[in-house]
A and B are shown apart, each in its own frame.
Chain A
Amino acid sequence: KQEVTQIPAALSVPEGENLVLNCSFTDSAIYNLQWFRQDPGKGLTSLLLIQSSQREQTSGRLNASLDKSSGRSTLYIAASQPGDSATYLCAVGRSQGNLIFGKGTKLSVKP
């Protein structure tokens, strides 16, 4: 059974810092991996999707990497801003299409 773990559960950093959020999964037979952002009381916003054949994806200040063999993905946020404060969710996609989510990392960026 696929399990997705995100560490740490919460993270507080000063504005301007570069930071890394971690995601690990137990079964390397994945179809893709998706990172989401969730603001309090809101839905999920897709940030990046990495196909199983890819090693990384970049969008603006965000970079996500994938190492299937070790069951790990990281989300790198450069030059963090207070507006980046949110919960970041990692989700592993199966070939059938459904996602298995981690519990998320709650990020707080202090001005």
Chain B
Amino acid sequence: DAGVIQSPRHEVTEMGQEVTLRCKPISGHNSLFWYRQTMMRGLELLIYFNNNVPIDDSGMPEDRFSAKMPNASFSTLKIQPSEPRDSAVYFCASSEPSGLYNEQFFGPGTRLTVL
């Protein structure tokens, strides 16, 4: 089984440019999570979706960040305009329909560097 797929794996861009990160969850999973990992703050939830609907976006740092999930197999996280402080590793995770387990499975991450 393919796990959570993220692209690109690495992204280097200049300040002010738009960045789009992509995620394909595990087939059959209906919850999708975007996290950001930095040395200073560790792993933090940005936003999560349940059945393609955003449930909690309180972790999104500011209006420059937006996320969409147009269908059950695809989500994007967009930063526009990007800033150097956005440099981090961005992880996508998915889990099965809520019930007994809610175990989350993570993708390999996208390492973003904003110059």
Instruction: Spell out A's residues near B (CB within 8 Å).
Output: 31-32, 34, 36, 41-46, 49, 51, 89, 91, 93, 96-104
A61 to B102, CA, bound (A): 23
A89 to B104, CA, bound (A): 13
Instruction: Spell out B's residues near A (CB within 8 Å).
Output: 31, 33, 42-45, 48, 50, 55-56, 91, 93, 95, 98, 100-109, 111
Q: Could you say which residues of chain B place their CB within 8 Å of the CB of A34?
A: 103-104
Dominant SS among interface residues on chain B: strand
Q: Could you say which residues of chain A place their CB within 8 Å of the CB of B93?
A: 44
A11 to B30, CA, bound (A): 37
From B50, B56, B104, A46 is in contact (CB under 8 Å) with: B104
Tell me if B106 and A44 are in contact (CB < 8 A).
Answer: yes
Most chain B beta-carbon neighbours within 10 Å: one of A41, A43, A100, A102 = A43
Tell me if A49 and B42 are in contact (CB < 8 A).
Answer: no
Tell me if B101 and A101 are in contact (CB < 8 A).
Answer: no
Extra 14 A-B pairs, beta carbons < 8 Å, given A45-B106, A89-B43, A97-B98:
A42-B108, A42-B109, A43-B108, A44-B106, A46-B106, A51-B100, A93-B104, A96-B56, A97-B33, A97-B55, A98-B45, A99-B45, A101-B44, A102-B42
